[in-house]
Chain A
Amino acid sequence: MNRDAAKDLLTRMADDVLILAHRHSEWTGLGPLLEEDIAFSSVAQDKLGHAQALYAIMHEHLGAPEPDAMAFGRSEPEMRCCHFVELPNGEYDFSLIRHMLFDASEYVRWSALRESSFEPLAKLAHKIHGELKYHLYHAQTWVIQLGANGSEESKARLQSALNEAWPYALGLFEARNGDADLINEGVFPGEDFLRGQWELLVHGILTKAGLTMPDEFAAILGGRDGYHSEHLNPLLVEMTEVYRIDPSAQW
């Protein structure tokens, strides 16, 4: 197996969920309903767990540093997340649309990874499948409720959030040089394949929600090479504050 390419794949997957988990957690205590506040925070916790599990695989099998050092010890240019997960939460319409688009992508990606030739990754894919199914169920239930069964306002807001999010969401599928090796080795099916599956899944959800899938836009890329939006750095400063004071702190 091309270890560098595998490391690149796992880093960008883990960084995406780590940063989005942090964004989701910013809703804790501010959610629109008590029950929904708890649900959204619970999704954030699951996401954090997925990031940790990926960093642990990289540490154990691919020679990466400890999970905490990977999560909190890297500078902005060393992060490999896409711009989509860096964007501020905005209002609940944007957070919900991002949650749905991201979790549709996670569901497609991890479903395929159950067949991965990289055994630790395939095992993890089986383990977290139920959680990902729930995350997608949660996201699509709300989007369909507010799109097809809500008011004119809720539908219009979702559509506008969707149009704004779309080019960023396409950035989830930024292909990398080492991917060809990983595809040949059966580690993962490649970003183009995943994007095709994702578009089918998202199209089905949007149709049920009465929303229109945006026309093709150029994807917003760069995060996989360490070029980030202006929103990432303030997030990292906040997220890594305790670790920078004392990297060995236990809490």
Chain B
Amino acid sequence: MATIVSLDPRVTRMKIEQEPASAPEPKAELDQFPTFEVFHQERTGAHHVHVGSVHAPNADLALLVAKEQYGRRGQTVNLWVVNTRDVVTMSAEDSDIFVTTPEKNYRDVGAYMVRNKVEAYKKQQGEKQA
């Protein structure tokens, strides 16, 4: 029967030393190119929209291959590529930080009373013209 060395069962299974004598060996470099995220712009002035990623050794070649993967069909006027490592993101587990309690409708645009004022103004203008 295996001795339980940690409360994390993965550590026990993998026989990871609790206090290693030496620093772990560096991992071998990946045998694949890094990935670049591709952003596609459909019309001049439109937002660049994320459409996917490509493998490439550097940004120049990422842009080149992105042209073929994402600009070949449909309307395109420009592309951006960004090394995937440069994309800073939140953890999926933290998606609950975007949840707000529903009672604070004073923070929502729909709660503003501007519409009433606009409609009153329009009505007033209409009466003047009539």
Q: How far is the CA of A39 from the CA of B56 in the complex (A)?
A: 13
Q: Mark A125-149, 1 if CB is under 8 A from B, else 0.
A: 0000000001001100110010001
B66: nearest residue on chain A (CB-CB)? A35
Report A44 CB to chain B, min CB distance, Å.
12
- A69 CB within 8 Å of chain B: no
Residues of A within 8 A of B54 (CB): 35
Q: Within 8 Å CB of B61, what residues of A?
A: 141-142, 145
Let me know if B65 and A36 touch, CB within 8 A: yes
Q: Name B54's closest neighbour in chain A (CB-CB).
A: A35
The stretch among B1-9, B43-51, B67-75 that forms the contact with chain A is B67-75
| A43 smallest CB distance to B (angstroms) | 9
Q: Which residues of A contact B68 (CB under 8 A)?
A: 35, 38-39, 42
Which of chain A's residues have a CB closer than 8 A to the CB of B57? 145
Mark contacts of B68-95 with chain A using CB atoms, 8 A cut-off: 1 yes-contact digit, 0 otherwise: 1100100000000000000000000000
The count of A-to-B residue pairs whose CB atoms sit within 8 angstroms is 32
B64, A38: Cβ atoms under 8 Å? no
Indicate whether A33 reaches chain B with its CB closer than 8 angstroms: yes
User: What residues of chain A lie closer than 8 Å to B69, measured between beta carbons?
Assistant: 35, 38
Distance in angstroms between the alpha carbons of A138 and B65 in the assembled complex: 9
A149–B61 Cα distance when bound, in Å, is 12
Taking the closest CB of chain B, its distance from the CB of A128, in whole angstroms, is: 16
Assess the B60–A134 pair: CB atoms within 8 A. no
Are A35 and B56 in contact, with the CB atoms below 8 A?
yes
Nearest-neighbor residue (CB-CB) of B33 within chain A: A33
Shortest A220–chain B CB gap in Å is 31
Q: Which residues of A contact B72 (CB under 8 A)?
A: 42
Is the pair B64, A137 in contact by a Cβ cutoff of 8 Å?
yes
Question: Which residues of A are in contact with B by a Cβ distance under 8 Å?
Answer: 33-36, 38-39, 42, 134, 137-138, 141-142, 145, 149
Q: Give me the 7 closest cross-chain CB pairs, A-B, nearest first.
A: A35-B65, A39-B68, A141-B64, A38-B68, A42-B68, A35-B54, A35-B69
| Pairs across A and B, CB under 8 Å, 10 listed | A33-B65, A34-B55, A35-B55, A35-B68, A35-B69, A38-B68, A39-B64, A42-B68, A145-B61, A149-B58
Instruction: Give B contacts to A, CB under 8 Å.
Output: 33, 54-58, 60-61, 64-65, 67-69, 72
Given contacts A39-B67, A145-B58, A149-B58, 6 further A-B contacts (CB under 8 A): A35-B55, A36-B65, A38-B69, A39-B65, A42-B72, A141-B64
